[in-house]
Structure 1
Amino acid sequence: MRRNSSTRTSAPSDAGSGSGTIPPLLATAGRLNPFTFGLLGALGVLVALLIGSMVHQLATVLVYVGVALFLSLGLDPIVSFIEKKLPRAAAVTIVVVVVILAFAGVVLAIVPILIEQVRKLIESAPKMVEDIMASDFYTQLTDQFGSNFEEAAKGVLTFLQDPGNIGQIGGGLVAVGAGIAGGITGITIVLILTLYFMASLRGMKRLATRFVPAYQRPRFSELLEDVSGAVGRYVIGQVSLALINGILSLIFLSIIGAPLPALLALIAFIGSLIPLVGTLTGSIIISLTCLIESPTTALIAAIYYLVYMQIEAYVISPRIMSRAVAVPGAIVVIAAVGGGALGGILGALVAIPVAASVIIIVQKVVFPAQDRKTEAPAEAAPPAA
């Protein structure tokens, strides 16, 4: 009996569970010589650098995936609304067809106009310079600044009249065109991914739920639906604001005779997609572009957008966004500025629904967990002597 008890009392110390023992892994690490320890540390750093390099190289792809997932969440409420009357497959098909037709319509309406305007600019550049040199304004500048100004102007004219130099300008325009083509390719990839994500969104949610323990799945599924719904409502609200601005801009710019009203209306639409500063930036660009027509046209456009921004800020936006996502105004400003600083335009666009998602998680997870703590934790007993 005495030998059995001594055997039982000595077992825990052999297992390393006593308070004074060292875990086997730490004991093994302590026996490593400095060279091996440093080699393992260097390998860990190299693996971290390799992962960082892979993420950096895949940054564009990750942005495409993130934007597509963001847009699919925005289109999902529309699919759910149509699904009340039609099967989900038919609802997804209708939304897909509408999105493709809208994208194709924008491309067909804008790209030919841009190509035509660039071609006319290249062809008319020498004639524009000659007209400027024959004007009274040019004569006044020549009289004021002397021969140096005249020589500089003639140098510009000679440069533009040389076919080789025009070819160099064309080469730069080709590079710009390649950038535009790359942008269209990226938009096409995002569009395709959006359609795939939209069709399989429910399956993706079910798959995400499988990573959670079974007893927490109902709560996690409810929280996931709330977050995705907040993102979807925000996207719909922001696109609604952009559509209002784009349509009104097209009508107004056509009435005042602004140059390229369709292109300027597209700029207004894209600008309104960006929170806080988007509408202002688009309005400045449009007003400056109207200077090509006349200063009066630019002034009228500036006054219109000044009035519209006030109406949007105090009438249209509160009515739409109050139903879309409930985020306090201060958090909207902080999220948009912080998102813009971290991720540019895309970061500013995504920051507000992310803030709404965080608010939902705090309200439905953190606050209830804190409310259940009605008693202070018991104080630990002092160790026995």
Structure 2
Amino acid sequence: MTTADRPLWQDRFPPIGYWVKVAALVLLLVIAIRMLAILQGLLIVLAASAVLAIGLQPTISWLEKRGLPRGLAMTVIIAVGIVATGAALFLIVPVVVDQVGTLVETLPEYVQGLEEDSPFIADLTARIDPMAQVGSAVGQLPDGAMSAVGGVFSAIFDLLLVLTLTPYFAMSLPRIKRWGVRLLVREDREGFLRLLNRSTDLMANYIAGNLLVSAIAGVVAWIALTAIGVPYAAALAVFIALTDMVPAVGATVGAAAAVGVALTQGVGQALLTGAVLLTYQQVENYVIVPRVMRDAIDVSPAIGIVALLIGGTLAGPVGALLALPVAAMVRVLLEEFVLKERMRTVRQADAEEERNGGRRRPRGIRERVLP
């Protein structure tokens, strides 16, 4: 059949084979999106493991320069991590158990004392009967116990999986780099290595900066809690430093625990503890973190806040933890593949315009626009 003999609709619309390919592509895309949704938890664990592995590279390199093989250097890091974690748990767990037991034992006396001191609280407790509410809540615990236990075991499993995968990723990173380089032609290898090394440095700087911010939070909390007279100040400071590693919500969790312990000593100490820790959180959020992270990963505070909101919404605390390094890597990619080429094009266009006798813009404006 010649072109003139074909029906008009065949000239206007693509053939059936084209639509079959489109349908297959759409189906594959839907399957891929569905698989990503199913594997979201695992992908987050893998991303967290990769970030931690990259963050360990400077320490591993430092130990290798001092004569330790890479495997032995990783073993030393794991041993130090186990000792530090065990020491933190040794300080924190007894405090939690002791304070929960003390709170349960003294809660009726504490409520009675509040009723005697304040007619308003006495009227409020008469209306809501807090002890009855506590008994009702305890009676409802079995209904949500299985869900809570499942969530705890899931979080513990994810944590153990991250701790298991991180050493393997850290040991394999040089081989992964070499494997990636082999897939590229020679003229692209230098740019790939530069981009990869820059991303690795950003990840390592982020982890170092996060540890520095957490250490500052722990020291400030220990000094403040000791001065206020809150018991177990050292253990609470360690807990605050650990929770402070999680952006956005970690500092609040640590402060709430400290206020809960201070409450056993009196309302005044609890209020003072909350006020001091809340004030420090504002200083940390608006002074310490922007300065440290700006020097560590070169991300502006506005972009960092947006990244934290997006990461926390998509993947919870882990997403918030990974938000800043991911934002830094996205910025590096944009600079490498978009902004750098665009700036080169603009400069070439300006140079061509000047050679052709075109109108030149004021020198001061150009220096401010094009560094």
Q: What's the TM-score once normalised by structure 2's chain length? A: 0.72
Q: Give the equivalent residue in structure 2 for 1:223.
A: 195
Which residue of the other structure, out of 330, 339, 345, is the alignment partner of 1:358? 330
Rate the CA distance shift 1:201–1:278 in 2: closer, same or farther, 3 A. Answer: same
CA distance in 2, matches of 1:103, 1:243: 15
Rate the CA distance shift 1:119–1:300 in 2: closer, same or farther, 3 A. Answer: closer
Q: Give the equivalent residue in structure 1 for 2:43.
A: 62
Q: Greater CA deviation, 226-235 or 304-313?
A: 304-313
| CA-to-aligned-CA distance 1:76-120 (integer Å, 9 cap, x gap) | 122222222123333222212212222333344434544555566
Rate the CA distance shift 1:175–1:129 in 2: closer, same or farther, 3 A. Answer: farther
The answer to whether residue 70 in structure 2 is matched with residue 83 in structure 1 is: no
The answer to whether residue 224 in structure 2 is matched with residue 243 in structure 1 is: no
The answer to whether residue 319 in structure 2 is matched with residue 337 in structure 1 is: no
Rate the CA distance shift 1:172–1:357 in 2: closer, same or farther, 3 A. Answer: closer
Q: Give the equivalent residue in structure 2 for 1:18.
A: none
Give 1:129 shift: 4.2
Q: Which amino acid aligns with 2:310?
A: G
Give 1:241 shift: 0.7
Please provide the CA RMSD for this pair.
Answer: 4.3
Give 1:224 shift: 0.5
CA distance in 2, matches of 1:265, 1:143: 34
Give 1:130 shift: 7.6
Which residue of the other structure, out of 277, 285, 299, is the alignment partner of 1:327? 299
| CA-to-aligned-CA distance 1:126-182 (integer Å, 9 cap, x gap) | x8448756985499689969xx958x749929x94x9xx967646756754553343
CA distance in 1, matches of 2:197, 2:257: 39
Give 1:232 shift: 1.0
Which residue of the other structure, out of 117, 132, 139, is the alignment partner of 1:156? 132
Which residue of the other structure, out of 170, 173, 181, is the alignment partner of 1:209? 181
Structure with greater Cα Rg: 1
Q: Give the equivalent residue in structure 2 for 1:104.
A: 86
Identical-residue share of aligned pairs (%): 28
Q: Which amino acid aligns with 2:332?
A: I
CA distance in 2, matches of 1:341, 1:328: 20
Rate the CA distance shift 1:366–1:44 in 2: closer, same or farther, 3 A. Answer: closer
Structure 2 gap ranges (5+): 1-9, 351-371
The answer as to whether partners of 1:276 and 1:333 remain within 8 angstroms in 2 is no
SS of 1:209 mapped into structure 2? helix
Q: Give the equivalent residue in structure 2 for 1:51.
A: 32
Q: Which amino acid aligns with 2:195?
A: L
Alignment coverage as a number of residue pairs: 340
Which of the pair has the greater relative contact order for Cα pairs under 8 Å at 6+ separation? Answer: 2
| CA-to-aligned-CA distance 1:242-267 (integer Å, 9 cap, x gap) | 12212432343245333554664355
Give 1:183 shift: 2.1
Give 1:64 shift: 0.7
CA distance in 1, matches of 2:324, 2:121: 55
Q: What's the TM-score once normalised by structure 1's chain length? A: 0.70
